[in-house]
């Protein structure tokens, strides 16, 4: 308490004004009152904790309001007054201590909340790069550090990899490097000892320490490192995941005991989050590698379709992104995030994987007849021509027709009509009855569109079921669990004419509806194949719109695909 002033009961008139004008400071003041204060006076008194209010006189009848800290019967008695003042001061000290404790408890409660929310935020981040950034930001915020670096431990190689850096004062050019886990560097020693190292002044590291301060960073970026706090990131069982180095406390000249404690408290959840994120990334890389290997396997079966899966994935993801950005009401319920885009991408990359179960001869069939079937017809024709020279001209005409009809051209007239007359012809050659053209050969040559027979088509269409069976066996993560059903429906049509399930409208997942558009667009525009000419982009978009008008493809999605140029990759 500072200066003490005595107020006597006869000065009560001026109490409020005096308290207001004179005691807006830390000085103490003793107020002697002979009767309780008015409500207004009590409220003014409440604003001045330095005022010791003592009751005096005989008007109190044994009950004192809470602002009265003591009773002095005779204020003129100096000893009595001092003794009462001493007890009042002790009471005030206790009250002050109590308030400080309360304040500290409140601050620590808030700090604890902040530490817990930091730990929670970190545990929810799966992306290692974002996580490293959050780890350093959170730790720097908690201990008020200017800069921080993160090292990830590779225990097999016994080294630390410099992974991330932050500094709010200088721009730090990031360049990764490794440090051995040994006593020769501060971070290495922290990892080796599995203990925090606090260097309050980097220019006064005790000689007994194994490491020295490396000032190359300071020189390079024009910075002055003063203090460093190195914290090992240890999991609950003590396994080392990495090291964090905090640089220059912003609050004090160096880091405090509380900072070190906070670092230790946060180290375990950070280590677990970091390990989980790295593991998650490993699994993702594993999946990515597996998907890429699968795509290579599919496309090596039919090199002419090379790049199809990647392009379908790119078109599909493009379309999904523009759907998410669209403000049109029909797309309002559809939203793709990072995970669902990845799910769509994997489903697209693997949608044709089942082609692995379709014979290569069918996948690569260029003509209506397989090469050995054509050879067989031509061989018989030549044999008949040799045995019956008188009909050589007809046989030549027959051969010319077979070669012509073997081409998978699209025709509106019945291609079988010209060939039909050769169907019943059979000749004896070297004692053997030889048919010029057999029924199944005739059926193949009579195909009016493409090169595939009904059986060939069925075999090719079976790729969807093969894809589904294959993808279903993969233990996809929760975020990717719909890869198999999405891929399963990529040949379904809104009007129910698709395969293999004949689903209709909303029964078809929207991702599969997207993929169907991408698949058809790429099949049309892909570089020339031996059996199929490439179609110009504008024509392909026209065909997509025609399919949409016929009710086969989602009209809104096709329109968005065209309007937002999702086909540009
Ligand atoms: Fe397909
Ligand atoms: Fe496809």
User: Is 97 or 134 the better-scoring residue by pLDDT?
Assistant: 134
User: What burial letters (b/e) apply to 310-323, b meaning 16+ CB within 10 Å?
Assistant: bbbbbbbbbbbebb
Ligand that lies nearest to the alpha carbon of residue 487, given by its number in the listed order: 1
CA of 287 from ligand 2 middle (Å) equals 21
* 205-209 mean pLDDT: 92
pLDDT confidence of residue 414: 67
Q: How far is the CA of 478 from the centre of ligand 2 (A)?
A: 25
Token duo for residue 344: 């769509």
* Burial degree of 366 (CB within 10 A; 0-12, 13-18, 19+): middle
d(CA 397, CA 263) in angstroms, rounded, equals 91
Q: Report CA(331)–ligand 2 centroid distance (Å).
A: 25
* Domain definitions of the chain by residue range: 6-100, 124-281, 302-360+459-563, 371-451
Fold of 124-281: Beta-Lactamase (3.30.450)
244-257 per-position pLDDT tens digit: 999 999 987 889 98
> Which pLDDT does position 492 carry in this prediction?
98
Ligand nearest to the CA of 488: 1
* pLDDT (0 to 100) of residue 139: 94
CA gap 194, 155 in Å, rounded: 13
pLDDT attached to residue 1:
37
**Cα(537) to centroid(ligand 1), Å:** 20
d(CA 539, CA 524): 9
Q: How far is the CA of 79 from the centre of ligand 1 (A)?
A: 104
CATH fold match for the domains 124-281 and 302-360+459-563: no
Q: From ligand 2's centre to the CA of 358, what distance in Å?
A: 14
Rounded to the nearest angstrom, the distance between the alpha carbon of 466 and the centre of ligand 2 is 13
From ligand 1's centre to the CA of 463, what distance in Å? 7
Q: What is the pLDDT, as a whole number, of residue 121?
A: 85
What does the alpha-carbon distance between residue 166 and residue 285 come to, in Å, rounded to a whole number?
27
464 C-alpha vs ligand 1 centroid, how far in Å?
6
Expressed in angstroms and rounded, the spacing between residue 326 Cα and the centre of ligand 1 is 28
CA 159 / ligand 2 centre spacing (Å): 46
Distance (Å) from CA 521 to ligand 2 centroid:
10
The 10s digit of each residue's pLDDT in 518-558 is: 999 999 998 866 667 789 999 999 999 999 999 999 999 99
> Which of 402, 407, 431, 406 has the alpha carbon at shortest distance from 419?
402
Q: Does domain 302-360+459-563 have CATH number 1.10.3210.10?
A: yes
CB 446 within 8 A of CB 416: yes
Partnered with residue 440 across adjacent β-strands are none
Residue ranges near ligand 1 (ion) with Cβ within 5 Å: 352
Average pLDDT, the chain: 87
Whole-prediction pTM value?
0.67
Ion ligand 2 residue ranges (Cβ < 5 Å): 352, 519
What percentage of the chain carries pLDDT values higher than 90?
A: 53
| Ligand 2 center to 53 CA (angstroms) | 90
């Amino acid at each position: 308490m500072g200066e003490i002033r005595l107020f006597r009961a006869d000065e009560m008139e001026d109490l409020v004004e005096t308290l207001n004008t004179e005691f807006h400071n830390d000085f103490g003041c003793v107020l002697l009152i002979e009767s309780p204060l008015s409500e207004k006076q009590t409220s003014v008194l409440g604003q001045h904790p330095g005022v010791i209010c003592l009751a005096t006189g005989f008007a109190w009848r044994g009950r004192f309001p809470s602002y009265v800290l003591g009773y002095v019967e005779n204020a003129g008695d100096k000893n009595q007054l001092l003794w009462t003042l001493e007890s009042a001061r002790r009471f005030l000290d206790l009250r002050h201590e109590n308030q400080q404790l309360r304040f500290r408890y409140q601050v620590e409660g808030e700090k604890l909340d902040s530490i817990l929310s930091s730990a929670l935020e970190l545990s929810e981040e799966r992306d290692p790069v974002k996580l490293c950034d959050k780890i350093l930001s959170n730790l720097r915020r908690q201990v008020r550090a200017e800069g921080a670096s993160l090292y990830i431990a590779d225990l097999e190689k016994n080294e630390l990899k410099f992974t991330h850096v932050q500094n709010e004062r200088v721009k730090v050019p990031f360049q990764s490097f490794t440090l051995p886990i040994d006593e020769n560097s501060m971070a290495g020693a922290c990892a080796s000892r599995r203990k925090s190292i606090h260097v309050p002044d980097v220019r006064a590291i005790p000689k007994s320490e194994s490491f020295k301060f490396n000032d190359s960073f300071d020189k390079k970026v024009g910075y002055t490192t003063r203090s460093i706090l190195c914290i090992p990131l240890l999991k609950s069982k003590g396994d080392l995941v990495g090291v964090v180095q905090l640089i220059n406390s912003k609050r004090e000249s160096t880091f405090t005991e509380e900072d070190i404690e906070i670092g230790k408290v946060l180290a375990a959840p950070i280590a677990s989050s970091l390990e989980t994120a790295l593991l998650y990334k490993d699994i993702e890389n594993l999946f990515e590698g597996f998907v890429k290997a699968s795509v290579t396997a599919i496309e090596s079966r039919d090199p002419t379709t090379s790049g199809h899966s990647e392009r379908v994935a790119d078109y599909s993801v493009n379309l999904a992104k523009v759907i998410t950005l669209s403000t049109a009401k029909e797309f309002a319920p559809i939203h793709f995030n990072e995970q669902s885009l990845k799910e769509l991408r994997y489903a697209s990359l693997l949608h044709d994987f089942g082609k692995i179960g379709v014979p290569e001869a069918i996948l690569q069939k260029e003509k209506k007849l397989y090469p050995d079937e054509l050879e067989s017809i031509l061989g018989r024709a030549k044999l008949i021509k040799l045995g019956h020279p008188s009909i050589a001209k007809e046989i030549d005409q027959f051969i010319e027709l077979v070669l012509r009809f073997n081409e998978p051209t699209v025709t509106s007239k019945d291609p079988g009509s010209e060939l039909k007359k050769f169907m019943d012809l059979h000749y004896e050659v070297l004692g053997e009855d030889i048919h010029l053209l057999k029924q199944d050969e005739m059926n193949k040559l009579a195909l009016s569109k493409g090169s595939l027979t009904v059986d060939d088509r069925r075999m090719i269409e079976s790729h969807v079921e093969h894809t589904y069976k294959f993808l279903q066996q993969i233990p996809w993560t929760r975020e990717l669990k719909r890869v198999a059903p999405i891929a399963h429906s990529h040949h379904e049509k809104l009007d129910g004419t698709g395969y293999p399930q004949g689903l209709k409208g909303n029964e078809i997942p929207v991702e599969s509806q997207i993929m169907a558009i991408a698949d058809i667009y790429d099949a049309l525009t892909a570089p020339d194949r031996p059996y199929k000419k490439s179609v110009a982009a504008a024509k392909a978009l026209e065909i997509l719109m025609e399919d949409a008008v016929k009710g086969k493809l989602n009209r809104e999605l096709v329109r968005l695909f065209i309007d937002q140029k999702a086909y540009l990759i």
